[in-house]
Amino acid sequence: MRRGERQEGEACVLTGAPLSGQAQLWLPAAGEQDGSLTVTASQDVIVSVPTRSFDVRVDTDAPSVLEPRLAALRANPAVLDPWFLSGCLRAPANVHRAGTHASTTSRTDVRRLHTPRLSLEEQRRYGEIYRRIAAFEREVTDMKSVGGELSRALRDLLAAGHLPRNRSGYGSGSRARRSVTSAS
């Protein structure tokens, strides 16, 4: 297993919940042939089975190698939309159901989670909305990470004396006062 950028023939290693924002770990996809690893296909639904860290997502970066605390559900796309399935599994009722008998060692029985029965056309409409929500969540997570890195860098630069310090506090106090008084 190694860190860094993905190389040809490598699979991402998923190590538990939360399923988004994980460190990039890579493994040669050789275990796929001998069956020693659980390797996902594109659009598999990945479920974190420990109840205290229940999470669900659609694997759009397959192949991925799953650790034992993760399960892969392979939906038949002619019958069940994977984004619909993922969104339904993340519903508050299923999250509650997943944690009903929670202890530090309990596991979610994915067969007990519920999804509504809808036509494939309706599933796809819902699935597209769930996909957009998941993309939005990823963007927010990425922005939080970038914002944290930026604020750490600014603090470091300020502490090292590389940023000018303003005597009047944050921003230009006199400029802010002028804009407020000129608006009256």
Q: Tens digit of pLDDT for each residue in 113-156?
A: 889 999 999 999 999 999 999 999 989 988 998 999 999 999 99
Q: Per the domain annotation, does 137 fall within a domain?
A: yes
Q: Per the domain annotation, does 174 fall within a domain?
A: no
Strand ranges of the sheet holding 38-39, from the earlier edge strand across to the other edge: 2-3, 25-28, 10-14, 64-66, 38-39
Q: How far apart are CA 80 and CA 88, in angstroms?
A: 12
Most confident of 27-36, 139-148, 159-168: 139-148
- pLDDT tens, 56-84? 889 988 888 888 888 899 999 999 999 99
Q: Per the domain annotation, does 76 fall within a domain?
A: yes
Q: What is the mean pLDDT of the chain?
A: 79
Please name the residues in contact with 31: beta carbons below 8 A apart, sequence gap of 6 or more: 37, 39, 65
Q: How far apart are CA 162 and CA 157, in angstroms?
A: 5
The CATH number covering residue 139 comes to: 3.90.220
Q: Per the domain annotation, does 175 fall within a domain?
A: no
**DSSP 3-state of 167:** coil
Report the predicted TM-score, pTM, of the whole model to 2 decimal places: 0.70
Count of domains in the chain?
Answer: 1
Of 116 and 37, the one with more pLDDT: 116
Q: Per the domain annotation, does 58 fall within a domain?
A: yes
Residue 113 sits in which domain range? 2-163
**Rounded (10°) CA dihedral 10, 16, 19, 23:** -50
Tokens of 120: 């494939």
Q: Per the domain annotation, does 177 fall within a domain?
A: no
Tokens of 68: 């034992």
Q: How far apart are CA 169 and CA 165, in angstroms?
A: 8
**pLDDT score at 82:** 97
